[in-house]
Amino acid sequence: MIKNKLHYPIVNSVTPINKNKSNLITVKNLTDTSAELYIYGQIVDNTDWKWDESDVMPDDVKEALEKVEGLDELNIYINSPGGSVFSGLAIYNMLKRNKAKKIVHIDGVAASMASIIALVGDEVYMPSNAFMMIHKPLAGLWGNADELRKVANDLDTINIGMTNIYKENLREGIDIDTLTNRITEEVDVWLDADQASEYFNINLTGKTQIAASAVHMLEQYKNVPKSLLEVESNNEPKSEPKPQPQSKTDDELEKIKIQNELDLLSL
C-alpha cells in the first residue's frame, strides 16, 4: 500500500507537545466588532499532538472562529512555511465561510499552503520585505510503478483545485497561464511584495521586522531568499545557548511513532 504525505513528511527530533496543554491558534484584541487571529506556524493535520506550539491545525482555526463568530471584522496575521495540503484547504474554506470582513497581513512569509490561506482576505496587506511562495503540491511516498503513477495523477488533480484558488484571486488582466508557466519553470516561485502585487490584489505596506517562522522548514524549498534563511539566527539570543533536547521516555517514543504513522496519508 502506497503511503504519502502532502505537502511533506514531518521530520523532527523533539518530543511532540500535547495540544490540549499548549496554546491553540492565537486570538488577540477581541472586541464586540473585531478580533486578530495569528497563523504563525506550520500547517499540520488534526491530531492530539503537535511538534511545536506554533503548529496550526484545522481544529485550532475552527475553535478560534467559534470565539469570533458574528464579528464585523477579522484581522488575520500570517507567518507560515506552509504544510499539509488538505489541512490548508480546510482552513481556507472555513475562513472563506466566515461572514466577517477578512483583512490579511503577511507579516513575514506565506509559503506553499500559507499562500493559499493568505488569499482568503477581502483585503491583503504585505510589507516590502515579506515573501509569498507558490508551487505545485508535493508528496513523500514509496510504492511500485503503478502506485507512483496514480499518485502523480492525484497530485495533478489536487493542483487543479489549488490553481483555481490562485485564479480566483488574480489581479484583473493577469492570465493564470502566466503564473502556472512560471511555476513549471522555477518549481518554487518566490515573490516579494512588489511581485506578488503584480499577480494578486495585494496592498503594499512599509518594511517591518520579520519574525522567525520555522525557518528550518523553508530550507527544503528551492530558491529561498537569503533574507528569510537569516531570520532565525538574527532572532536568536546571542548570549544564551540553545537548550539541548531532553531524553525521551519509552512512552514519549511510542507517541512519536504513532504521530509519524498519522502523518502518512493513503491516497
Straight-line distance from the first to the last Cα atom of the chain, in angstroms, rounded to the nearest whole number: 9
Q: How far apart, in whole angstroms, are the C-alpha atoms of residue 32 and residue 203?
A: 26
Separation between Cα atoms, residue 93 and residue 104, nearest integer Å: 15
Annotated catalytic residue, options 54, 84, 87, 135: 135
112 catalytic residue (yes or no): yes
Is 135 a residue of the active site? yes
Catalytically annotated residue among 54, 112, 115, 213: 112
Report how far residue 93's alpha carbon sits from residue 174's, in angstroms, rounded to the nearest whole number. Answer: 24
Q: Which residues are catalytic?
A: 112, 135
